Amino acid sequence: MEHRRSEQAFRAAQKVMPGGVSSPVRAFGSVGGTPVFMKAGYGAEVTDVDGNRYIDMLSSWGPLILGHAEPKVMRAMYAGFGGTSFGAPTPNETRLAKMLVEALPSVEMVRFVSSGTEATMSALRLARAATGRDKIVKFAGCYHGHVDALLVQAGSGVATLGLPDSPGVTKGTSGDTIVVPYNSIDGVKEAFAAEGDKIAAVIVEPVAANMGVVPPASGFLEELRTITEQNGALLIFDEVVTGFRVGYSGAQGMFDIDPDLTILGKVIGGGLPIGAYGGRKDLMSQIAPSGPVYQAGTLAGNPMSVAAGIGTIRGIQRFASAPGGADDPAGLYAHLDRLTGHLVEGLQERGKRAGIPLTFQRIGSMFTLFFKDGPVGNLQEAKESDTQRFGRFFHAMLNEGVYWPPSQFEAVFLSAAHSAQHVDDVVAAAGRALERIG
Ligand code: KE4
């Protein structure tokens, strides 16, 4: 495959943008080589600036559950408003807010922002204001956006005060964050035993996707709900990835748990910039202007973003093969679960043929292929993966015309636009790639 134009584009980009990209993971840092610059996407396929076509396994890190440039979403985006932004309220914001409230039983009110990071930052501020407490518990390997308070790494020990995980994050900021291994209820209990009356909230990816896909251990989320309730702390589900991805009611619907606050993004904007946080009315009504907790945004609830979000959620609701008929949003998720299951079965079979130890962890249409033997239950186990071999797999797949997520610690996301033929083609390509990397 020819990547001359991407190489030129990357050289030009590096002159005026740090690392030549707008977000670090796009720079292929963990897989090596020159990032591919994209020109267009349609359905399950993308085309790069050299004209190479790929089956897209990234779906823009999750938002595009209906595929690229889905016609109804594109029409909704252009038809739904009379301009790009007004800085004034619009009816579509209320329409999208109502869709979220109807889909998520724990959410009575939402506020829109422009990214998942902003939504997390605002939810943490609200949790601290509502409880009058400062400390936050997070889990190693979970990523919630580049919020200072959460760019912390675990120290030694099970429940440790966070250490700054990036220059520019102050010890003061990270000192209010306690880091616990994912799936470690003992760690959570230890944190509450030590600081229970100071902990404002526990924030968790209910299905972790940023150390690769790591499902919650049985009972983990239920225990978090019980411990936070017993200690007067809030439970925050970061559903930026899982919201409208693992099911119409997200992971909270899948596991039947009501968090106090929920963070959303990605799918609810259909690929346009968006974030949202929501929860009980008694909490959300504390957000300005109805309450004292300040949060604002010039482009929050942007007309194009909310129109694309409405178009996407309506597309989910209408999905043709919905067994319950037009209004059974579960239809898309059952279809994607079957399709992704076939893909993973095929990949497992090819991995066995190549004699390469692989572990697959999947929830619905999102999964990670770990280059290691044995389950991954937390960050430490994820880091046992052979990232060098993953890098060779990534490039072998790229040359086969399959755009895999450029990091071992991310997830593959399928869409309604992926067909059985796409799945067969990806399995065949993986078979050749795995043989080649040996
Ligand atoms: P954004 O600020 O990127 O919209 O959302 C941050 C965020 C919050 N919560 C979870 C669970 C997330 O996964 C993310 C962002 N996800 C990454 C990919 N895993 C975005 C890719 C990137 O950073 O370029």
Best of 241, 263, 305, 379 to mutate for ligand 1, by most ligand atoms within 8 A of CB?
A: 241
pLDDT band for position 186 (cuts 50, 70, 90): very high
Q: CATH code at 76?
A: 3.40.640.10
Position 321 scores a pLDDT of 59
Average pLDDT on 354-366 reads 97
232 part of a folded domain: yes
Please tell me whether residue 237 adopts helix, strand or coil conformation.
strand
Structure tokens given for 62: 């999750």
Q: 175: Cβ–Cβ under 8 A, 6 or more apart, which residues?
A: 161, 162
DSSP string, 400-427: TTEE--SSTTS-EE--TT--HHHHHHHH
Atom of ligand 1 nearest to the CA of 25: 24
Which class for 91: exposed (0-12), middle (13-18), buried (19 or more C-beta within 10 A)?
exposed
Of all residues in the chain, the percent with pLDDT exceeding 90 is 91
**SS3 letters across 96-111:** HHHHHHHHCCCCCEEE
Specify the number of domains making up the chain: 1
DSSP symbol at 257: -
Q: For 402-428, how does the pLDDT look when each residue is reduced to its tens digit (9 = 90+)?
A: 999 999 999 999 999 999 999 999 999
Choose one of 30, 122, 124, 210 to mutate for the ligand 1 pocket test, by most ligand atoms within 8 angstroms of C-beta: 210
With a 6 Å cutoff on the Cβ, whether 205 touches ligand 1 is yes
Tell me, yes or no, whether 342 lies in a domain.
no
* 210 Cβ closer than 6 Å to some ligand 1 atom: yes
- Residue 160 forms part of a structural domain: yes
Quick check: is 399 in a domain? no
Nearest CA to ligand 1 atom 6: 145
| pLDDT > 70: percent of the chain | 97
Whether residue 209 is predicted with pLDDT greater than 60 in this model: the reply is: yes
Average pLDDT over residues 284-295: 98
Could you read off the pLDDT of 119-140 as tens digits, one per residue? 999 999 999 999 999 999 999 9
Query: Could you give the CA distance from residue 437 to residue 420 in angstroms, rounded to a whole number?
Result: 26
Q: Which string of b and e fits 154-192 if b means at least 16 CB within 10 Å?
A: beeeebbbbbbeeeebeeebbbbbbbbbbbbbebbbbbb
Which range has the worst mean pLDDT, 143-147, 163-167, 214-218? 163-167
Q: Is residue 31 part of a domain?
A: no
Mean pLDDT, to the nearest integer, of 432-437?
96
Q: Give residue-wise pLDDT tens across range 369-394.
A: 999 999 999 999 999 999 999 999 99
Alpha carbon of 136 to ligand 1 centroid (Å): 19
Q: Note whether 339 and 365 are within 8 A (CB).
A: yes
- For 187-203, write each residue's pLDDT tens digit: 999 999 999 999 999 99
- Mean pLDDT calculated for residue range 4-21: 98
In a domain, 213, yes or no: yes
Atom of ligand 1 nearest to the CA of 116: 5
| 240 in contact with ligand 1, CB cutoff 6 A | yes
Query: Which of the listed residues 143, 211, 236 should we mutate to test ligand 1's pocket, taking the one with most ligand atoms within 8 A of CB?
Result: 143
Q: Whose CA is nearest to atom 5 of ligand 1?
A: 116
**Poorest-confidence range of 10-19, 163-172, 273-282?**
163-172
**pLDDT score for 153:** 84
pLDDT for res 164: 81
Residue 194 lies in a domain: yes
3-state helix, strand, coil in the chain (%, to 5): 40, 20, 40
Query: Helix axis angle, 303-318 relative to 91-103, nearest 10°?
Result: 40
Cβ contact 266:286 at 8 Å: no
Structural domain including 88 reads 71-317
pLDDT-based confidence at 323, cuts 50/70/90? low
Q: Which residue has the higher pLDDT, 90 or 156?
A: 90
Residue 5 lies in a domain: no
User: Could you tell me the pTM of the whole model?
Assistant: 0.97
Question: Could you report the per-residue pLDDT of 221-268, keeping only the tens digit for each?
Answer: 999 999 999 999 999 999 999 999 999 999 999 999 999 999 999 999
pLDDT band at 79 (very low <50, low <70, confident <90, very high): confident
The SS3 call for residue 367 is strand
Whether pLDDT at 207 is above 80: yes
Which sequence positions are flagged as catalytic?
143, 238, 266
